């Protein structure tokens, strides 16, 4: 990754199979904001010990990444945590198939204090417990495991069918004062479809997206960043209302100013130029 994006703002989260060590370095050099080495669904049970050892070796050798660990109901969960507990380069863990805040707490208890935990919601039980899970002390961001959720519930893959779980995660995250949740991955390489799906993620209020390949990350980055038009609008509002709100005239002005400030903050974080009207652009 050429530019460091803070994990609370990270847009594209690239999943890499933990038994594909030859893909770790290319993933780290990709345009994804964050890399997640996957020890769970991507790795067959028989291959998990070797994959775990390979991930730990890469992290100890100077690599940095998040690691998706197996869910708390499996024996692999404890093995993953024991291996990762003292591993340099670990940015945090992604806990698979979470269904209670207690599972988050138990995971945190086996890791150094302050280790960030991304929490995957992948079932009806997990979705029902989303407010409790979001309020667990060590929950960093919620993640929608859309594929497993669909298998668990039988719902379709249309935007309407998945609108409720996405909205519930957005609302639970906001109520718990967490960063916006991370959406499930696109399963296509068609550019038009990738752009459309990433825009859907944004429209639902989600602020990150899982990616299965490095080539899909730029679509998430583009959709989840302020556009040139957004930045120009934001600067016009700030110029008119004042950074300190001195130009506010009615009840609609303060929400506009707050939105404009949020846009300019994100634009700076993502490398979008915000110098003057008509001169906005992106470095990625």
How much is the CA Rg of the chain, to the nearest whole Å? 20
Contact 127, 149 (CB under 8 A): yes
Region 257-270: mean pLDDT is 94
pLDDT at 3: 55
- Strand 182-183 to 12-17 pairing: unpaired
Residue 279 has pLDDT above 60, yes or no: no
Residue 21 has pLDDT above 70, yes or no: yes
Residue 2 has pLDDT above 50, yes or no: no
pLDDT-based confidence at residue 284 (cuts at 50, 70, 90): very low
Report in angstroms the alpha-carbon separations of 244 from 87, 136, 254: 45, 35, 10
pLDDT at 275: 58
Q: Is 85 left (phi over 0), alpha (psi -120 to 50) or beta?
A: alpha
Average pLDDT score over the chain: 94
The pTM score is: 0.93
Tokens 């994100």, residue? 266
Question: What count of other Cβ atoms lies within 10 Å of the Cβ of residue 157?
Answer: 11
pLDDT-based confidence at residue 283 (cuts at 50, 70, 90): very low
Mention every residue, 6+ apart, whose C-beta is less than 8 A from residue 128.
none
Which tens digits make up the pLDDT trace of 160-183?
999 999 999 999 999 999 999 999
The distance from CA 194 to its chain's CA centroid, rounded to whole angstroms, is 17
CA pair distance 174, 94, nearest whole angstrom = 19
pLDDT-based confidence at residue 274 (cuts at 50, 70, 90): low
Region 247-272: mean pLDDT is 93
Residue whose C-alpha is closest to residue 51's, from 69, 35, 64, 33:
69
Beta bridge partners of 275: none
CA pair distance 185, 147, nearest whole angstrom = 8
pLDDT at 280: 47
pLDDT at 4: 79
**CA-CA-CA-CA torsion sign (68, 69, 70, 76):** positive
Domains present along the chain, CATH in parentheses: 12-223 (3.20.20.60), 228-269 (no CATH)
Region 50-62: mean pLDDT is 98
pLDDT-based confidence at residue 23 (cuts at 50, 70, 90): very high
pLDDT at 272: 86
Query: b/e per residue, 202-227, with b = 16+ CB within 10 A?
Result: bebbbbbbbbbbbebbbbbbbbbbbe
Residue 230 has pLDDT above 60, yes or no: yes
């Amino acid at each position: 990754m050429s530019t460091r994006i803070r994990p609370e703002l990270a847009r594209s989260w690239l999943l890499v199979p933990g038994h594909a060590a030859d893909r770790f370095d290319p993933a780290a050099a990709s345009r994804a904001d964050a890399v997640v080495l996957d020890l769970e669904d991507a790795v067959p049970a028989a291959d998990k010990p070797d994959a775990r050892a390979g991930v730990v070796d890469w992290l100890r050798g100077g690599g940095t990444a998040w690691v998706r660990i197996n869910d708390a109901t499996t024996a692999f969960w404890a093995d993953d945590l024991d291996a990762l507990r003292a591993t340099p380069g670990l940015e945090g863990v992604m806990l698979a198939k979470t269904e209670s805040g207690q599972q988050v707490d138990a995971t945190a208890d086996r890791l150094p204090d302050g280790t960030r935990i991304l929490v995957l919601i992948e079932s009806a039980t997990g979705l029902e417990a989303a407010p409790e899970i979001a309020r667990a002390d060590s929950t960093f961001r919620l993640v929608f495991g859309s594929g497993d959720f669909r298998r668990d519930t039988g719902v379709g893959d249309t935007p309407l069918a998945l609108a409720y779980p996405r909205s519930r995660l957005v609302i639970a995250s906001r109520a718990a004062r967490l960063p916006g949740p991370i959406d499930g991955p696109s399963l296509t390489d068609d550019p038009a479809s990738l752009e459309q799906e990433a825009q859907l993620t944004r429209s639902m209020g989600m602020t990150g997206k899982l990616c299965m390949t490095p080539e899909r990350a730029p679509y998430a980055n583009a959709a989840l960043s302020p556009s040139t038009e957004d930045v120009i609008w934001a600067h016009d509002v700030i110029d008119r209302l004042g950074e300190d709100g001195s130009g506010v005239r009615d009840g609609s002005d303060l929400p506009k100013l707050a939105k404009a400030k949020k846009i300019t903050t994100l634009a700076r974080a993502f490398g979008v130029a915000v110098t003057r009207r008509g001169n906005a652009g992106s470095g990625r």
